[in-house]
Structure 1
Amino acid sequence: MRRWVPLLSVCLLATTGCREKPVDHMQRAHDAVFEKRPDEALVEYRKAFDMLRRDDSPEALVMRARALKGAADVYWLEQRKVKEAVGVYKELVQQCPESPEALEARIILAELLRAHYRDLRGAIDQLTAALQRNPPQGAELQYQVAKLYFELADYPQCELEARKLTERFAASAYVDDALFLEAQALSMVEGKRQEASRTFADLRSRFPDSELAPYALYEMGKLRADSNEYEKAIELWVETLKTHPDPAMVQDSIARARRRLANTTPEGLGKEAAFDRSKVARTSLEAMGGSAEEASREHGD
């Protein structure tokens, strides 16, 4: 009998050593994802998670968050199953709220809620919670929050959120975007159009090389036209023709403004202005007044 005791002990140790661990299932899941076997990956992630469910050690919490994130990513990135992905991302946020994976999950959740469910408020909630963690991409997330409020037509809140970005992330590459969005929100609120124009002008002054600068100038012209200040609108649009990426659109706006100006001008004054050759245009673009064909017709050539 003595001869079998050591052998039995060796067998028991071997059995214990061969017992699968959560890390083994995690590795199999990673391999399955790499080999494009998403269903198998989901099974392995679930096995790892089930083994970690009752383990509250720091190491287990880390692995639990990774298992949930891995499964959610498979549902979304590999299988495009939005409903299932949303459910697992939410489970991750609930069970491991302080984990790095939960932060990533909130950002992904916000996009899924916005794009697939039109749940803009839910997306805002997720991004706001993510911002409380002071993530490195904070400026971008703050800009997304402001944009979501604009989509909701909550223009005062959009203005507030955009201004937060310019104040909290003053060195960010998103500041010019935030200024443009803030000005757009202001332009939608009655009584704040002058403030909107000043904000557009601020963008152009602070970021003259921004790709948004010509758009800001164009919007300033629109605000003038909306106030029936057609001559000033035309002047601004003629200036933006030099740099605007869509000159045809700007020319069309100039042409419409000129027609409205003609319709609101007394007949005699309109004829006098049309044939007044003493006024010399400052630039060839201004002489065009939008397009060469229109300028030719308007001057009777």
Structure 2
Amino acid sequence: MEIQKLKKKLLKEELRERRKRNKKRRWTLVGLILLAGLAAGAGGTYYLRASESQLLERIQQAELLVHQEQFEKAADLYRQIHSRHRSSSLAPQALFSAGEILNLYLGNYQEAVLVFLLLEHDYPDSDLVLKAQEQVAEIYKNRLRDYNRAIVAYQKLLDSGAANPDRLQYEAADCYFRLNNFEQARIELESLVKAFPESPLLPEVHYRVAVTYSLEGLLKQAEAAYRRVIADWPESPYTIEARFGLASVLEEEERLDESLAILESLAGIYPNGEALAKKTDQVRERIRKKKAP
């Protein structure tokens, strides 16, 4: 019996020692795993720091190329930065810089539009998206003379809540004007007046409304619109233009004496003296012929 008790005692001690050894091995393994993780993390941090350092160096190189007026190389480098570091917080700025160079320095407008649209697609939450959209609209309107696409671009900006919405609305209206769609241009201008009654653009807007009426041959409406500009904004430079426009409308209505009086009052103040002299002589000649027996 004593032997059996001894065997059981020895067996319990052996099992206890085995549990201790297994526990020690587990903690050793955990320690090794943690050390490996720390080493990998340190290596990842080093890699990220090295990558960021290289990225900053490349951006500085691109900026130097711009300073040296090597615009093609600068644009290419900025685009490479984006393609190789898409997840970097600096990638949107690199794309935007490439688009600006293509637009402002290289005159490669189609390619600039593609770059700005890529920025909008890849980084929709970037603060640079609205600026990119503004440049797209400006390129379509003033560089490519693609007024239909410009209208779409300006409407997108308005829908996005961009700054200076009255100016954007005006630019869209001007696009319709350049497409000879005077009725729609007037609709856009009148919408601007309703939406932004305090806009500093109002004298110009009302003047442009008068011009659309005049071009459509709606002389009574044009006369009323010109007279409103003259009455409401007497100090605006558009008042001088409105007076010249009113004189032209009155001439078409055969109210020649009234037209001549306005034209003569513009002498010395109308910016296009040659056009004024020509119009004045024309009206005087018409009056002379009308009075001739």
TM-score per shorter chain, which class?
A: 0.7 to 0.9
Are the counterparts in 2 of residues 103 and 130 from structure 1 also a CA contact under 8 Å? yes
In 2, the alpha carbon distance for the partners of 1:124 and 1:177 equals 19
Alignment partner, residue 127 of structure 1: 154
**Distance in 2 separating the partners of 1:215 and 1:238:** 14
| Residues 53-202 of structure 1 mapped to structure 2, 5 A cutoff | 64-97=91-124, 99-190=126-217, 192-202=218-228
1:89, distance to aligned residue in structure 2 (A): 1.1
Match of 1:245 in 2: 271
Percent identical across equivalent pairs? 17
In 2, are the aligned partners of 1:147 and 1:181 still within 8 Å (CA)?
A: no
Contact 1:23 1:48 in 2 (8 A): no
Question: CA separation of 1:251/1:82 partners in 2, compared to 1, >3 Å: closer, same or farther?
Answer: closer
CA deviations on 1:111-149 (whole Å, 9 max, x unpaired) are 212233321100111011101123222121111111111
Cross-structure match for 1:227: 253
Deviations 1:244-293 (A, max 9, x none): 233443233222111112222341xxxxxxxxxxxxxxxxxxxxxxxxxx
CA offsets per residue over residues 145-174 of structure 1, 9 Å max, x none?
111111100000010111122222222221
Residue of structure 1 in register with 2:61 after alignment: 32
Corresponding position of 1:56: none
Instruction: Give how far 1:82 is off.
Output: 2.1
Q: Is the 8 A contact 2:75 2:102 kept in 1?
A: no
Partner in structure 1 of residue 284 of structure 2:
258
The one-character-per-residue Cα deviations of 1:22-79 (angstroms, maximum 9, x if unpaired) are 75565345423431255356435544455436xxxxxx7x655434323322332344
Cα distance in 1 between the residues matched to 2:278 and 2:75: 56
TM-score in terms of structure 1 length: 0.74
Identify the residue that residue 3 of structure 2 maps to in structure 1: none
For 1:198 and 1:25, how far apart are their aligned partners in 2? 65
Where structure 2 has 5 or more consecutive residues not aligned to the other structure, the ranges are 1-27
Give the RMSD, CA atoms, in angstroms: 3.0
- Measure the CA separation in 1 of the matches of 2:246 and 2:216: 15
Letter in 1 for 2:291: T
Mapped to 2, the partners of 1:208 and 1:158 lie a distance apart of 24
Q: Is the 8 A contact 1:49 1:68 kept in 2?
A: no
Q: Quick one: distance in 2 between partners of 1:237 and 1:184?
A: 17
Gaps of 5+ in 1: 54-59, 268-301
Give the whole-Å Cα distance in 2 for the aligned partners of 1:185 and 1:29: 52
Alpha-carbon shift at residue 196 of structure 1 (Å) = 1.3
Cα distance in 1 for residues equivalent to 2:251 and 2:74: 62
Give the deviation of 1:8 after TM superposition: 8.0
Quote the Cα distance in structure 2 between the aligned partners of 1:211 and 1:52. Answer: 50
Cα distance in 1 for partners of 2:129, 2:224 equals 40
Counterpart residue identity of residue 147, structure 1: D
TM-score, normalised to structure 2, is 0.75
